[in-house]
């Protein structure tokens, strides 16, 4: 198995000078292709910060963060933009574009890729929505969908680009138990089919069972469970 995410001695802190607030301390972790890893931990333990660094959204300066063989430490914006295109992001809130229909929202992931035709884009987006069980809601706008449905649209949006990695930040936080469970099971099932790595941050203990591995982060330090 190949290593998709390889983090070594990552240190990260907010602020500067005497106000420096370390968030991540000497974090080392490597995640293989197709693995599903859950990161749990109390609020303020640095989970989301860690995720944004892996996702190329936040610049870290110390240690080594290799994602898909790209070094993120002190990297250019260009490199990170390229990497982001191979990463599917699922947010705490669904973060769908409210002026677009479900189909158009999912298509947004594919519009970065100029190689596809408009028709191929629509077809692939529609297939993905059917796969998440929203085949009858293609032309609904987010306002017309329930919370669980919206999160499923955002799962479809993350997966449709066939990313190598899915990063999910508390994807079940705004959902009730049942739809939360449905959403992550769906995610797991679709990811397993395509050998996609999933890194999922949560403190929802109800969904721990989907993980291959659970990592606990406390005060910026990793505690393997």
Partner 1 sequence: MKPIIWFYFPARLAWRQLVFDRTKLVAAICGVLFACVLVFMQLGFRDALYASAASAPVKLNGDLFLMHKQSEALWRPVRFKRSELMRVLGNSAVAEAYPLYLGLAPFKNIQTRTKRTLMVYGFDPDSQIFKIDAIDDKRAELRLKDTVLFDEYSRPEFGPMRQLLAADQNVTEINDYKVTVVGLFRLGVSFAADGNVVTSDLNFMRIFSRRNHEDIDLGVIKLHPGASATQVQAALRSQLNEFVNIFTYEELLSYEKDYWANTAPIGFIFGFGTVMGWVVGLVIVYQILFTDIANHRNEFATLKAMGYEQGYFVRVVFASAFFLAVLGFIPGYLLSLGLYHMAESKMYMPMPLPFGKVTTVFMFMLSMCFMAGLLAIRKLKDANPADMF
| 19 touches 50 (CB < 8 A) | no
Element (H, E) at 106: helix 102-110
- The answer to whether 63 and 140 have CB atoms below 8 angstroms apart is no
Q: Nearest approach, Cβ of 186 to partner 1 (angstroms)?
A: 19
Q: How many CB atoms lie within 10 A of CB 38?
A: 25
Task: Name the minimum Å distance from CB 128 to partner 1.
Answer: 14
**Of residues 122 and 213, the one with the C-beta less far from partner 1:** 122
Interacting residues with partner 1 (CB under 8 A): 48, 52, 55, 57-58, 77, 81-87, 89, 91-93, 95, 97-100, 104, 108-109, 111-112, 114, 157, 169
- Residue with smaller CB distance to partner 1, 98 or 206: 98
Nearest residue (CB) to partner 1, 117 versus 224: 117
Decide whether 1 or 114 has the Cβ nearer to partner 1: 114
Q: How far is the CB of 163 from partner 1 (least distance, A)?
A: 9
Other C-beta atoms within 10 Å of 214: how many?
A: 17
CB of 8 to partner 1, least distance (A): 21
CB atoms within 10 A of CB 80: 19
| DSSP output for 148-181 | HHHHHHHHHHHHTT--SEEEEESTTTTS-HHHHH
């Amino acid at each position: 198995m190949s290593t998709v995410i390889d983090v070594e001695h990552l240190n990260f802190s907010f602020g500067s000078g005497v106000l420096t607030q370390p968030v991540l301390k000497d974090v080392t972790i490597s995640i293989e292709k197709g693995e599903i890893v859950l990161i749990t931990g109390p609020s303020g333990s640095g989970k989301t910060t860690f995720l944004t660094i892996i996702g190329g959204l936040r610049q870290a300066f110390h240690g080594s963060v290799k994602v898909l063989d790209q070094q993120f430490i002190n990297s250019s914006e260009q490199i990170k933009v390229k990497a982001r295109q191979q990463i599917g992001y699922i947010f705490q809130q669904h973060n769908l574009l409210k002026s677009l229909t479900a189909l158009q929202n999912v298509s947004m992931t594919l519009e970065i890729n100029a190689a596809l035709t408009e028709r191929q884009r629509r077809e692939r987006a529609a297939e993905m929505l059917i796969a998440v069980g929203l085949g009858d809601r293609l032309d609904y706008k987010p306002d017309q969908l329930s919370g669980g449905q919206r999160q499923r649209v955002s799962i479809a949006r993350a997966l449709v680009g066939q990313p190598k990695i899915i990063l999910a930040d508390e994807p079940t936080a705004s959902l009730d138990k049942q739809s939360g469970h449905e959403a992550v099971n769906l995610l797991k099932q679709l990811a397993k089919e395509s050998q996609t790595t999933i890194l999922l941050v949560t403190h929802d203990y109800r969904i721990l069972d989907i993980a291959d591995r659970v990592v606990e982060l406390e005060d910026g330090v990793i505690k393997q469970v």
